Amino acid sequence: MEARLNIMASPVAAKAMKHVIAAATTLGESTLPASTRELVMLRASQINGCAGCVDMHTKDATAAGETAQRLHLVAVWREAKVFTDAERAALELAEEGTRIADAAGGVPDAVWANAAKHYDDDQLADLVTQIALINAFNRGNVITQQPAGDYVVGQYR
């Protein structure tokens, strides 16, 4: 499979994407656990069908010490016993934020309240930003049909 387009070949799009990448990189400074951020990015990418991002975030999570069992169970996190209550709240927020068009009122108050039980305001802001950014990456990659399988851990840093 070949990508439809190399966005980075366009001077204007490349400049814009560098800002998006910089924003995503900045989230590494968050007190939100890196494993939680990777799980959230993986789940949103699964929902959006973004092969490149699923490839990237499974490999990055593995390199950061995440177990294969937990990665395999992200798609069915509600039925899996391997996630903490805080991780479940983050995954639920990620799903609702990713599927925002499916819910007439956006993210339900109960989902937000559950996340707020586990994360402080700074972490919630970081989580919302992480969800928004991964959805932006997913959409660009899905539209241009970016292939999966060749990602090497850290190649975009």
Render pLDDT for 75-98 as a digit per residue (tens, 0 to 9).
999 999 999 999 999 999 999 999
- The pLDDT value recorded for residue 156 is 76
Give the pLDDT score at 96.
Answer: 96
Quick one: angle between helices 85-98 and 34-48, nearest 10?
Answer: 40
Residue 102: what pLDDT?
Answer: 84
125 is a domain residue: yes
* Within a domain: 87: yes
User: What is the domain extent for residue 41?
Assistant: 34-143
Q: How many domains does the chain have?
A: 1
66 conformational bin, left if phi > 0, alpha if psi -120 to 50, beta if neither: beta
Helices (H), 49-148: 51-63, 68-73, 85-98, 109-118, 121-143
Q: Is residue 20 assigned to a domain? A: no
Residue 44, domain member (yes or no): yes
**Per the domain annotation, does 29 fall within a domain?**
no
Residue 25 in any domain: the answer is no
Sequence-distant (6+) residues with CB within 8 A of 46 are 54, 74, 75
* pLDDT at residue 130, as a whole number: 97
Write down the pTM of the prediction: 0.94
pLDDT, residue 74, reads 98
65: left (phi over 0), alpha (psi -120 to 50) or beta: left
CATH number for the domain that contains residue 109:
1.20.1290.10
Give domain status of residue 13, yes or no.
no
CA distance 130 to 103: 20
What's the pLDDT score for residue 101? 85
Q: How far apart are CA 104 and CA 32, in angstroms?
A: 29
Whether 61 is in a domain gets the answer yes
Residue 15: the pLDDT is 95
Residues of the chain with pLDDT under 70: none
What confidence score (pLDDT) does residue 103 get?
75
